[in-house]
Homo-oligomer: A and B are copies of this chain.
């Protein structure tokens, strides 16, 4: 979403929700760069609505950590905070491995088929070099596994943590997309879960998650304006996982 683009909202559902979705997508895709200031009145004009629904959308996005409202000063796209991403990874490892524990060897056939289909989607997106399609399929794969636990909020929680990491993921997918590696990791996780091999499933999931931010130091140096700080790859920034053995 270039900063000058005009959008319109449909009348059949609340404008605020539509604005949330559009802005969130634009933020995650870095079309709205971190640090960028947002003007409520400007957004209202571009969306063709009044300030009220825009404000309500911004409140929601602020609670999700995507924007920061500084009273009487302005509203800004949050810069990427490496420490926050490491936390998100930690939290995801804790939750997603707990989820694995719960579903290993107990996946129903429908979920297995769904996951295998999503793996095909990922392969297709990788061949087409469609970063966003791959991204969507990746999300859906993790969500499918989370939903298989029978816990509804689990997937939305994971999605929230994922979203925080998405901007860096987009950066790295654009430069050096490790499509094949990610796909094979997903396949390994799924196979182990289906086979009921608890240790293997856990270890694959842990490895998968711990690798997600390997591009963080490089990205923070390539785009320092997007980050609150740059990360020195030689430092101990990676020593933030659970410490559990793979």
- Asked if A135 is at the interface of the complex by the 8 Å CB criterion, the answer is no
**Chain A: interface secondary structure?**
helix
Q: By the criterion CB–CB under 8 Å, are A243 and B101 in contact? A: yes
Contacts of A102 in B (CB 8 A): 90, 242-243
How many residues of chain A are within 8 Å of chain B by beta carbon? 29
Contact with B along A76-88 (1 / 0, CB 8 A): 0000000110111
A residues 15-60 near B (Cβ < 8 Å) are: 55-56, 59-60
How many copies of this chain?
Answer: 2
A86 to chain B minimum Cβ distance, whole angstroms, is 8
Contact call B95/A91, Cβ cutoff below 8 A: yes
Whether A181 sits at the interface, judged by CB under 8 Å, is no
Interface, chain A (partner B; CB < 8 A): 14, 55-56, 59-60, 63, 71, 83-84, 86-88, 90-91, 93-95, 97-98, 101-102, 151-154, 157, 242-244
Please name 12 further chain A to chain B contacts, defined as beta carbons within 8 Å, in addition to the given A14-B71, A83-B152, A93-B98, sorted by A numbering: A55-B56, A56-B56, A60-B63, A88-B153, A90-B151, A91-B151, A91-B153, A91-B157, A94-B94, A94-B98, A95-B95, A98-B242
